[in-house]
Structures are given as C-alpha cells and as structure tokens.
Amino acid sequence: MKKILLFIIVFIPPVFLFKGEYAYFLSIMAIAGIYAIVAMSLNILVGYTGQISLCHAGFFGLGAYSAAIASVSHGINPWFSLAFAFLVPGMLALLVGIPTVRLKEHYLAMATLGIGIIIYGVLRANPWDITGGPGGICSIPSLVVLGKAIESDVGHYIAVLLFLSIILFFSHLLVNSRFGQLMEAINSSPHAAMSVGINVNMVRLKAFVLSASMAGLAGGLYSFLSPLSYINPDDVASVMLSVKFIAMVVIGGLFSLTGGIVGALILTWLPELLRQVTQYTPGISPSDLESIIYGMAFIAIMIMYPRGLVSRWEGHGYSQG
C-alpha cells in the first residue's frame, strides 16, 4: 500500500503541474523513471542477492544501442526493437556471469567494473561500423501508438510511467516469490543456503541475467523516448553512470524496490538543482559541486540512515519489496 501511495504522490501530479514553459521538467521526470527501472534491477542484484555490480551502465548502454541499431539500421519496429534491448544484455550477462558469479566482494566488483569498461570501449570503437563511435546514433525513431508517434514530453512521460508501473508490479511479485526467498536466503548466509541444497551460483546467475535484461530494457526506452532522439557512449554506458546507479540504490535503500525509485528521483533532479546553485558559487563548476554534494550525501546518509532513506519511511530496516 505504501508503494502505491508513494507512486501516486510522486509520479502522477507532474502530468498536471508541468505544462507550458514547465513541460521541460516532464522530460527530467521521464529520465528519472527510466533510471528508476535500472535502480530496481540493480536492487534485485545488490540488495536481495548480495552481489555488487559496477557494469549496469554497460548493460543499460548495450540495451540502448541494441534497440537503436535494430530500428535505425535494420528498420525494425521500435516496439519489437525493445525485445533486443532486453535479450542482448541478458545473453551477454549469461556469458560473462557463468565465471563471475563465483567471485565475491571486491573481486566481483573489479570483474564487473572490467565488463563495464569493455562494453563502453566497444561502443566507442565502432566495430563493424554500427555504433557510430564517440558520435553515437542519431535520428532514432519514436515509439508509435495507434499510428501516432510519441514525441511530446507528456507522451514520453506517460509511456515511461506505464513501463515503470508494470516493471514495479512484476518486480514486486518476483521478490515475494519462492525465487525471491532463495535470493534473500543467499544474501543472509550463502553457506547455510548451500547446506540445505540451494544451488547458490545458479540463483546468482539467474538474478544477474534478469537484472541485466531489465537494465537493457530501460536503455531501449531511453533510446526511443529521449527528447533528442540521440544516444552516445558517454551518456548511456560510462563507468560514472554505473557509479551513479549504485548511488541511487544505496541512497534510496538496499533490499527495497521503493528505495531504488527514491534514489533515482534524487540523483536525477540533483544536477538540475545544482545548475541554479552554481549561479551563487562563482569559481565552482556544476560537475565539481555535484561531486562534492554526492560525497557529503553519502557520508550523511550512511551515518543517519545506513539502510537508506526509505528504511525510515517504511518503518523497518529491510522491506519486502
């Protein structure tokens, strides 16, 4: 019930409030909604399974490029192209996940960091002349509903809202299913889970593949619902974006799907607010100020809310989705 209430309070009013000259803010909310999908996917992996991942921006970017290439270069309908955004990152995650899910702690972090760097490098290298290199891909078509392209800020926002609602619903079912219980058991004590016959590595692998596919789907949405109809590696696959996704989960709250949404909202709106603040802080660039505030926010939240901001609102340390 609390999740539904939060969703209504945060995401529904902007449709009616941000009109005319304020319609630009709807595009920010749409990006926040897309990032929230990635944060939820990462929360399933980090919060519920206990696996760290520093390559989710890579999966996000791979999904964005898979959908864009399928649509721009091969003329596939954007709706069908979203299937490539879901499947391609999932298949890559399956391939690299078989050896990496056996790793633990900082070894796993370094391995996933390497995966993210490789994906970013490949997208910039423009193999087989398909990714556009550093320049990216432009003129990406929009999603079409009933013969009408979704091109307005309101249309983009409503489309993201629908996808976010559906993914939140199914993610909630997942974490409360038997598979969700297996993930929680592994997170609590892998050795105890193994002692009762749970295939720990298989559960981790499934969670890793599903999480990567969800992040890729969010990337596909970003391609088709971006106001500029344009993507490039720095925007969708950089290592810093992976760090930002991790920050969303930590700030919002581990072991909570709602926490991912809250963290995505905070860290998407923060740069916009900093643009206003930098007017009164001469000599400090927005990026430098953003880094300073990120660090301060991490320290403050870890001290006051070690389990994330949502843990206080939900009234307990860990939520059940």
Residue 148's SS3 state is: strand
Q: Are the C-beta atoms of 36 and 47 separated by less than 8 Å?
A: no
Picking from 143, 142, 158, 149, the residue whose alpha carbon sits closest to that of residue 26 is 158
Residue 319 is predicted with a pLDDT of 42
Question: Which element (helix H / strand E) includes 224?
Answer: helix 200-225
CA angle in degrees (0–180, nearest 5) for 61-66-72: 120
Structure tokens at 47: 């919060």
DSSP state of 145: E
CB 236 within 8 A of CB 250: no
- What do you get for the CA distance between the two ends of the chain, in Å? 11
The contacts of residue 238 (CB under 8 Å, 6+ apart) are: 57, 120
Phi and psi, residue 228, nearest 5°: -95, -5
Domains, in order of start, for the chain = 2-314 (1.10.3470)
pLDDT at position 317 is 43
- Cβ–Cβ contacts within 10 Å for residue 56, how many? 34
Whether 88 and 216 have beta carbons less than 8 Å apart is answered as yes
- Determine the residue type at 10: V
Burial class (CB in 10 A: 0-12, 13-18, 19+), 91: middle
Tens of pLDDT along the chain (321 residues) come to: 556 566 666 777 776 667 666 677 888 889 999 999 999 999 999 888 988 899 999 999 999 999 999 999 999 999 999 999 999 999 999 999 999 988 887 888 899 999 999 999 999 998 888 999 999 999 999 999 988 889 888 888 889 999 999 999 899 899 999 999 999 999 888 889 998 889 999 999 999 999 999 999 999 999 999 878 899 999 999 999 999 999 899 888 887 888 888 889 988 888 777 766 666 666 666 667 767 776 787 788 778 877 777 766 655 444 444
